[in-house]
A and B are shown apart, each in its own frame.
Chain A
Amino acid sequence: MLHLVAVLLTLSRGLPSDMVFTLRAEVQPGSIELSSAAAISPDCAVALAVFPASCPISVETPEGIFQPESIVCSPDLGLHILFFGERIFDASQPPCEEAPGAGDKLTIVGQGLSGLLSIEGTATMRYPDGAILLTAPFLDGMMGAAVFDSENRLVGLITGILEVQDGPLGAGEEYLVLYPSQIWYMWAQLACDPGLGDAPPFGVTAMASISFDPDRPSGIQLVSVAEGSEAWRIGLRPGDLISAIDGHPVFHPETLRGLRILSCDTLETVVWSHGVERLVAIPPVVTR
C-alpha cells in the first residue's frame, strides 16, 4: 500500500526534465556559457555559482527568456538562487531534505549544447565534507546539473569532478560530485522567505571543517562564540566542533543556521572538543 502511495507521489511530482532549465551567462561580452537551473518554486530557481552574480544571466523556459530580478548567493555552498518576481516555472520541486544513500540510482539532468541531457548515475560514497560521489558518464553540460532520486525529488547539483586515490572501485577513480540538498535546503528556504530570517543572533562565527582523519569527525567548527550570547549560555565554546544534529551528520554552518530558525523543536547536537564528545541541546528560535 505504501509502495502504491510512493508511486502515485512520484507520478504527481512531474518529470525531472520538466524542472530543469537552460541558464545563459554572458561571462564575457560576446561569450555565452550554458548551464542548468533547477526550479525550486514557481518563481525561483537554484543554480551552481559558476558565474559571478554580476554578469548578465538569463533562464530560458518554453515561454521565453527571463532575467532574474535578484540573486542570493552563498560563496561557501557555491550556489545561487535566482528570483524572478513572477511565476515563470510550470513545474518545480523544493530541495529534498534527505540525502541519497550508497547504491541509490539517480537521474542527472543537465544542459548540453544540443539540449537537455538526462543520464543515470549511482551514488557510491560520502566525501568528508558531505558531498556524495556518483559514478556516471562525464558529458558536456553535467557541471551544475540537477540530480533527482528515484522518486523524482531534487537531491542536489553536480559541483565538479573528484579523483579519489583509494576508492572502492580502485585507485585513481573519477567521480561526479553531488552536493546534496540535505545540507542547503534550509538555506534555500530562508532565502525564498526572507521574513523567516528575522531571528535573534545565536552568537557564533563558524566554518565548515573537513577531516580526513578517521578518528576526528568533519563538522561545523566554531571559531568564536560571543560571551553572553545564547550559544555561550547553552555551553558552546570556541574550538567546539558540531558533528551531528538530531542524529544526522552535519558539514556546513548554513545547516545549523537554517535548522535553528526553521525547526520547532530543540536540536540535539553532538559536539566534539579536545577529543571528547558531549551532547548539547540547542533550543529553537522562540519568535514566530
Chain B
Amino acid sequence: MTARIITEKPSAKDQRTDSRLLVDLCAGDEQAFSEIIRRFQAPVYSLLIRMLGNEEDARELLQVTFCRVYKYRDHFDPERKLVTWIFAIASNLAKKEWRRRTRWIQVPLDFVNLTSPGRTAPHYSAGRLELKASIEDAVDALPPHYREPFLLREHEQMSYEEIAEVLGVRIGTVKSRINRARAALRESLKDVWEEWK
C-alpha cells in the first residue's frame, strides 16, 4: 500500500535522513537532536492534543517524549523507523496519562449530539466547514483506542504495519479498530453528512 510518513521536509540546512540523524546524535551531534525535534514536533503534538484533549497535558508530554528520545537514543533499534519509535514513546506516555485520570464512562453513540449552529439552507462551502467541525468533535468522541489508530492512519497517513509498531498490537487489531472507528463515525455523523452531501 502507498504510505507516506508525514514529517517536515528536510530544510535546506539539514538534508540528513531520519536514521542518519539518530546515528549522529548517538555520536554526540547536538545539532541532530535539534533537527529531530524540529521534524517531529508538529505531528507528535497533533496526536497528543487529540488523544489528551488539552494543550497543557499535550505540551508536557511532548517535552517528556523528546527527553526520552534523547535519554534512550542508544537503545534505539536501527531496524525500526525513527518516526514509529518516537510515536510509540508518545503513545505510551498518553496511555499512562489515561490511566492516571479518573475513569471515563463513554457516552454511547445514541447520545452524541452533533448539532452545529446555523444549519439553515445547505450551502456547499458552508456545509463543508460544518462537516469538518463535526468530524473533529466526532473523532474526539471516539473511545481513545479507536481514535488513536484512526488518527495515525487518516491524519499521519501511516501504514498498518507502522501503526501496529507504534501501538504495539497486531496488524489485524489495527485493521479492526480502524474499521470500528469508521463505523462509529458513520453512525455519529450520518445526519450532518446527509445535509452536507
Q: Is B one of A's binding partners?
A: yes
- Interface residue ranges, A against B (CB under 8 Å): 24, 30, 32, 60, 62-67, 85-86
Are B98 and A62 within 8 A (Cβ)?
yes
Which residues from chain B contact A24 at a C-beta distance below 8 Å? 108
Interface size on B, residues (CB 8 A): 17
Are A67 and B180 within 8 A (Cβ)?
yes
Q: A85-B173, A86-B170 are in contact. Are A63 and B110 (CB under 8 A)?
A: no
Are A30 and B145 within 8 A (Cβ)?
no
Give the top 10 A-B pairs by smallest Cβ distance, nearest first: A64-B145, A64-B143, A65-B143, A64-B144, A62-B103, A65-B106, A62-B99, A86-B169, A30-B110, A86-B173
Bound-state Cα–Cα, A63 to B96, Å: 9
Which residues from chain A contact B172 at a C-beta distance below 8 Å? 85
Nearest-neighbor residue (CB-CB) of B144 within chain A: A64
Q: Does B146 contact A (CB under 8 A)?
A: yes
Question: From residue 93 to 128 of chain B, which have CB atoms closer than 8 A to chain A?
Answer: 95, 98-99, 103, 105-106, 108, 110
Number of A-B residue pairs having CB atoms within 8 Å of each other in the complex: 29
Which residues from chain B contact A30 at a C-beta distance below 8 Å? 110
Which residues from chain B contact A66 at a C-beta distance below 8 Å? 145
Which residues from chain A contact B106 at a C-beta distance below 8 Å? 60, 64-65
Shortest beta-carbon distance from A218 to chain B in Å? 42
Are A63 and B144 within 8 A (Cβ)?
yes
* Candidates B99, B105, B110, B180; contact of A60 at CB < 8 Å: B105
Q: Jot down 10 A-B pairs with beta carbons below 8 A, ordered by A.
A: A30-B110, A32-B108, A60-B105, A62-B103, A63-B98, A64-B145, A65-B143, A65-B145, A67-B180, A86-B173
Contact with A along B136-150 (1 / 0, CB 8 A): 000000011110000
Shortest beta-carbon distance from A114 to chain B in Å? 10
Which residues from chain A contact B145 at a C-beta distance below 8 Å? 63-66
Which residues from chain A contact B180 at a C-beta distance below 8 Å? 67
Which residues from chain A contact B98 at a C-beta distance below 8 Å? 62-63
